[in-house]
Amino acid sequence: MDIKTDEIKDLLRAEIEKFDLDIDVSEVGEVLEVGDGVARISGLENVMSSELVELPNGVFGMALNLEEDNVGLVLFGGSEKVKEGDIAKRTEKVVEVPVGEEMLGRVVNPLGQPIDGKGPIGTSETLPIERKALGVLQRQPVKEPLQTGLKSIDSMIPIGRGQRELIIGDRQTGESVVVDPAYDVAGLLGILEADGMRCAGVLATHYHPDHVGGSMMGFDIAGAKELLEEVSVPVHAQREEAEFIRKVTGLGEGDVVEHASGDRVRVGEVDIELIHPPGHTPGSQCFLVDDRLVAGDTLFLEGCGRTDLPGGDPAALYQSLTQRLARVPDEAVLYPGHLYSPQPSATMGHTRSTNFVFMPRSEEQWLAMFGR
């Protein structure tokens, strides 16, 4: 058999030209430990803060604690699906969720994926879940009112759209607490059920009926009492506020658990610190959990709570903003009780630098804004 070198050369050249090497280069790490919805990963030296990290079995995590030799992740999904030694891979993009009109009325998981059985969400726009708020001049004003359907309230009390219902929970245990349930209590419980969560308690920021229910301007607003008729759970309130909450809502003595500032409420493995900043009301309270401050009506992104209602005290509010909340770090994210600003949240550092309530340098200057 004759072997022609020219033919071999042509054959090799043809095979080399057809060869297509597709190299997938990605930075990977290894799971060091996992539990209670968090995981520690080694090897992801270049991971970004809030970056989405891919783990086995369809589980994702968000990088939060960037330490010298490991990275702490908050897991979106069951931690039982991840074990020590599993591979974790960078996605090189921060956690973001879909946005747009198509999201209205849909129930989604923390990654914005639909869980209501209504099919995919037809939006191509996304935004990171945590981002720097726009400057005041770049923001659109709050110009759309919230219509409660109660004519006396809608005509006398301007409410910017809209008030938020915040839920704090532990996906591993399915337990959650509802912050200031008011108006659509049944819908709130329906959202929890659709998300596989159950209500284990109520956190009350203060006694006003638009936060905990009760009578306002002669009209009844559903709130904590109606929620307790559906589920038997405790209502956590500051000691100075408990009496007012019972009186406004009609709750019984045993329904309200009284707390002091610094007390903690645990929901599964989630630890919530209760902070008492009086001023808006005598027993107003905020909730600090994982560098997130749920502030109720004590502090907004562009203002603070009113002090002209029963129990309001401008001097006490100044002390609360400048002293009691001073220890909340600048990197903590503020979630106010009403959406009076285009952005739903902002860091405390940004709020302190842009919110006019932090401009006065003394209590005298502060009180001068109230004509005192």
Kindly state whether residues 339 and 208 are assigned to the same domain. yes
First to last CA, the chain: 111
The one-letter code for the residue type at 179 is V
Percent of the chain with pLDDT over 90: 42
318 and 198 co-located in one domain? yes
pLDDT of residue 331: 92
**Is there a single domain that holds both residue 294 and residue 215?**
yes
* Last residue of one domain, picked from the residues 94, 124, 145: 94
Structure tokens at 213: 């229910």
Contacts of 84 (CB under 8 A, 6+ apart): 31, 32, 33, 34
Question: By residue range, what is the domain housing residue 57?
Answer: 28-94
Please say which residue of 94, 116, 143 terminates a domain: 94
| Mean pLDDT value across residues 288-304 | 91
What was the pLDDT predicted at 130? 72
Residue 363 lies in a domain: yes
Using DSSP, how many helices (H) and how many strands (E) does the chain show?
9, 23
pLDDT at 175: 92
Closest CA to 198 of 221, 184, 222, 178: 178
89 and 203 in a single domain? The answer is no
CATH code for position 216: 3.60.15.10
pLDDT tens digits, one per residue of 254-270: 999 999 999 999 988 88
Within 10 A of 227 (CB to CB), how many other CB atoms are there?
A: 23
* Domains: count for the chain: 2
Segment 316-331 shows an average pLDDT of 93
Q: Which run of H or of E encompasses 274?
A: strand 270-275
Instruction: Classify residue 12 as exposed, middle or buried by CB count within 10 Å of its CB (0-12, 13-18, 19+).
Output: exposed
pLDDT in tens, 43-81: 888 898 889 999 998 899 999 888 888 999 989 877 888
Mean pLDDT of the 353-370 span = 89
**23 falls in which pLDDT band (50, 70, 90)?**
low
Same domain for 322 and 240: yes
Q: What angle do CA 8, 12, 13 make, to 5 degrees?
A: 115
Does residue 42 sit within a domain?
yes
Domain end among 94, 117, 146 = 94
For 287, half-sphere exposure in the C-beta direction (CA atoms, 13 angstrom radius) is: 30
Q: Are 275 and 285 in contact (CB under 8 A)?
A: yes
Taking the C-alpha atoms of residue 276 and residue 239, their distance in angstroms, rounded to an integer, is 10
Query: In this predicted structure, what is the pLDDT of residue 368?
Result: 86
Residue 149 binned pLDDT confidence (cut-offs 50, 70, 90): low
Closest by Cα among 257, 276, 254 to 265: 257
pLDDT at 217: 66
Two tokens, residue 138: 């770049």
If asked whether residues 212 and 360 sit together in one domain, one would say yes
Residue 100 lies in a domain: no
Whether residues 90 and 168 fall in one domain: no
pLDDT band (50, 70, 90) for residue 136: very low
Structure confidence at residue 133 as a pLDDT band (50, 70, 90)? low
Residues 349 and 229 in one domain: yes
Give residue-wise pLDDT tens across range 192-214: 888 888 999 999 999 998 899 99
Q: Is the pLDDT of residue 300 over 60?
A: yes
Q: What is the pLDDT of residue 3?
A: 57
Q: Tell me, what's the pLDDT at 21? A: 59
Q: What's the pLDDT at 135? A: 43
Same domain, residue pair 54 and 198: no
- Please check whether residues 169 and 309 belong to one and the same domain: yes
For the cut 90, the answer to whether the pLDDT of residue 329 exceeds it is yes
146-164 average pLDDT score: 58
Poorest-pLDDT segment among 73-82, 220-229, 279-288, 291-300: 73-82
Query: CATH number for the domain including 81?
Result: 2.40.30.20
Residue 181 has pLDDT above 80, yes or no: yes
